[in-house]
Chains A and B, each alone.
Chain A
Amino acid sequence: MKMKTTVIAALMASSLLISLGTTAFSAEKVASLRGTHDITAKSKKPSKKKLILEEGGFERSYKLQPPLIPHKVSKYRITIKNNGCLKCHDKKHHKREHAPMVGRSHFLTRDGKKLDHVSSRRWFCTQCHAPQLNARPLVKNEFEGWSPCKREECYR
């Protein structure tokens, strides 16, 4: 009997503590990328951002940076069977499409062997290349590029 009351008392005390603890926790404001916005409240609706079309391509910030994509990409599919990007960027087709050829590194295998077609390591283009939206960075960023680096100089 004595034993039972102690257990019950202990249980009640701990549940009280837990509930106190959780209220204290949710009252505290957590700062995240959403600011100190309440965690359980609805997010503010983000504004819609437009894709940047950059004629002549984006400047690069450092050597061997995968260049950003200066055009729309939503209509191109990359599957096991076909790669929509290579229609324009492959060695064979880039001239008639007035598009730059994929980087020469794209033809190399893991052991540096040169292939006559794009290496499977570089098949999923958007793994490295991304289009840009007209959005301000969420966090302050002090990165400065490696001098103004134009397409021709920056490559290789």
Chain B
Amino acid sequence: MTQKKRTFTILVLGMILGVLAWGAFNWSLELTNTEQFCISCHEMRDTPYQELQETIHFSNRTGVRATCPDCHVPKEWIYKVIRKIKATNELYHHFIAHDVDTPEKFEAHRLELAQHVWKTMKETDSRECRNCHNFDSMDFDRQEERSANRHEEAIDNGYTCIDCHKGISHHLPEGYEPDTPGGDDEGDDNEEDE
């Protein structure tokens, strides 16, 4: 009987501890998942944050905003944890390597950094954009003609947001060549009548 009771107490205690640990884990996950946290590093405050402020994702007609984690950290728990583990790499560069700690160094690495983000977004079919935007909810009649045209193409051909919308929230890196999909690339009708 007492044996059973003991097992029971241990189980209950374990559960409580478990819940607490779990809570603490998620709590710290959430603490590090705010814009305030992201821009507590000057690397992020000095460049990406300043640039974001010029864009529609910072201030717009309806007053709905996107913060850093909205675009850079997945919403689903398991992807979020994976992203957080990868972020230790960023801590390494901040605390030890110091290779992006001035705007100049940041600029020098920007193409590489941006390419990482593009690659990830391409692989996830722009999952973070789609947490807020959705083709099904877009009223093409209320968009500019050139937006609607391209979006119809995108749906037909399975293009993803980041294929066309690079540089929507930060300045594009030097050396970036526009590479939106569709049509023929070398459209050269420059010579037709000369």
Query: Interface majority SS on A: helix, strand, loop or mixed?
Result: loop
The answer for the CA separation of A58 and B146 in the assembled complex, in Å, is 15
B175 to chain A, nearest CB (A): 8
Please indicate the chain B residues that have their CB under 8 angstroms from the CB of A95 in the complex. Answer: 183-184, 187, 189
A77 close to chain B: CB less than 8 A:
yes
B51 — nearest CB in chain A belongs to which residue? Answer: A77
B166 — nearest CB in chain A belongs to which residue? Answer: A87
A84 — nearest CB in chain B belongs to which residue? Answer: B167
Supply 15 further A-B pairs (C-beta < 8 A) apart from A77-B54, A77-B167, A95-B184.
A53-B145, A55-B145, A71-B144, A72-B144, A74-B56, A82-B167, A82-B172, A91-B187, A91-B190, A92-B188, A93-B185, A93-B187, A95-B187, A98-B149, A104-B190
Interface string of A86-112 (1 = CB under 8 A from B): 110011111111110100100100000
- Contacts of B148-194 to chain A: CB distance below 8 A: 149-150, 167-168, 171-176, 178, 180-190, 194
B26 close to chain A: CB less than 8 A:
no
Question: Are B186 and A92 interface neighbours, CB within 8 A?
Answer: yes
The answer for the CA separation of A96 and B85 in the assembled complex, in Å, is 39
The answer for the CA separation of A90 and B176 in the assembled complex, in Å, is 14
21 sampled A-B residue pairs with Cβ under 8 A: A55-B145, A75-B55, A81-B171, A82-B167, A82-B172, A82-B176, A87-B180, A90-B178, A91-B187, A92-B187, A94-B187, A95-B187, A96-B180, A97-B150, A98-B146, A98-B149, A98-B183, A101-B187, A101-B189, A101-B190, A107-B190
Question: Are B180 and A81 interface neighbours, CB within 8 A?
Answer: no
Contacts A96-B184, A101-B189 known; A71 to B146 CB distance under 8 Å? yes
Question: Are A96 and B187 interface neighbours, CB within 8 A?
Answer: yes
Please indicate the chain A residues that have their CB under 8 angstroms from the CB of B189 in the complex. Answer: 95, 101
Chain A residue total in the interface (Cβ 8 A): 26
Please indicate the chain A residues that have their CB under 8 angstroms from the CB of B171 in the complex. Answer: 77, 79, 81-82
Q: List chain B positions with a Cβ less than 8 A from chain A.
A: 54-56, 144-146, 149-150, 167-168, 171-176, 178, 180-190, 194
The answer for the CA separation of A104 and B189 in the assembled complex, in Å, is 10
B173 — nearest CB in chain A belongs to which residue? Answer: A81
A85 to chain B, nearest CB (A): 11
Please indicate the chain A residues that have their CB under 8 angstroms from the CB of B175 in the complex. Answer: 81
The answer for the CA separation of A53 and B184 in the assembled complex, in Å, is 27
Question: Are B178 and A93 interface neighbours, CB within 8 A?
Answer: yes
A122 to chain B, nearest CB (A): 14
A76 — nearest CB in chain B belongs to which residue? Answer: B167
Question: Are A91 and B188 interface neighbours, CB within 8 A?
Answer: yes
Contacts A82-B172, A96-B185, A101-B189 known; A53 to B180 CB distance under 8 Å? no
Question: Are B146 and A99 interface neighbours, CB within 8 A?
Answer: yes
Please indicate the chain B residues that have their CB under 8 angstroms from the CB of A96 in the complex. Answer: 180-185, 187
A79 — nearest CB in chain B belongs to which residue? Answer: B171
A96 — nearest CB in chain B belongs to which residue? Answer: B183
The answer for the CA separation of A77 and B171 in the assembled complex, in Å, is 8
Please indicate the chain B residues that have their CB under 8 angstroms from the CB of A82 in the complex. Answer: 167, 171-172, 174, 176
The answer for the CA separation of A79 and B149 in the assembled complex, in Å, is 28
